[in-house]
């Protein structure tokens, strides 16, 4: 059965995930180390993991696989999920794929290095209405593809 695994820290699309899960009759696991509000929906399970570096990421990576969807903007977690065979979508609707994940990791590492050396001081752009719309389209497309192909 198709599961949606959500890296809930800083996830601005939890309500949208709930609506899509209801529409398709799929289950969602919203994973965090606490303090995250989840939609009041029996298909959405709030998973609270202990505090610690990458504990939520590890929980997701140990369970996700072919025929599942992972929602995260954490590039290292996205890489682990792609390698496990899952479809992976960032909160802004950008997919992480086997063909793109190498470049995504390289870009992430470059940007981390630039921030650490002070050469770059600004963060990413704010989450916009267009990002929400793009996310919904990407999630819908991923679910339909999995239902059609099984992966």
Q: Which domains does the chain have, with CATH numbers?
A: 3-149 (3.40.50)
Predicted local confidence at residue 34, as pLDDT: 83
Predicted local confidence at residue 41, as pLDDT: 87
Predicted local confidence at residue 117, as pLDDT: 83
Task: Supply angle C-alpha 11, 56, 76, rounded to 5.
Answer: 80
Predicted local confidence at residue 35, as pLDDT: 77
> Are 48 and 34 a contacting pair, CB within 8 Å?
yes
A 10 A CB-CB count for 22 gives 15
Predicted local confidence at residue 118, as pLDDT: 82
**Closest to 77 measured CA to CA, from 92, 99, 93, 55:** 55
Predicted local confidence at residue 10, as pLDDT: 83
Phi, psi of 46 (to 5 degrees): -85, 120
Predicted local confidence at residue 65, as pLDDT: 97
Predicted local confidence at residue 1, as pLDDT: 80
Q: What percent of the chain has pLDDT over 70?
A: 98
Residues of the chain with pLDDT under 50: none
What the block records as the tokens of 108 is 């992430």
Residue 109: DSSP 8-state: H
What the block records as the tokens of 46 is 């709030």
């Amino acid at each position: 059965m198709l599961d949606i695994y959500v890296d809930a820290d800083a996830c601005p699309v939890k309500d949208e995930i709930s609506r899509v899960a209801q529409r398709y009759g799929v289950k969602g696991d919203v994973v965090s180390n606490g303090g995250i509000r989840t939609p009041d929906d029996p298909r959405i399970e709030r998973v609270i993991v202990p505090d610690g570096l990458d504990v939520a990421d590890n929980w997701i990576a140990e369970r996700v696989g072919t025929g599942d969807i992972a929602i995260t903007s954490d590039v290292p977690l996205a890489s682990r999920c792609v390698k496990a065979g899952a479809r992976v979508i960032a909160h802004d609707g950008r997919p992480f794929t086997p063909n793109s994940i190498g470049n995504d990791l390289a870009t992430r590492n470059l940007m981390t290095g630039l921030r650490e050396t002070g050469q770059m001081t600004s963060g990413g752009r704010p989450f916009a209405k267009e990002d929400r719309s793009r996310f919904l389209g990407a999630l819908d497309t991923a679910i339909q593809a999995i239902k059609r192909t099984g992966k």
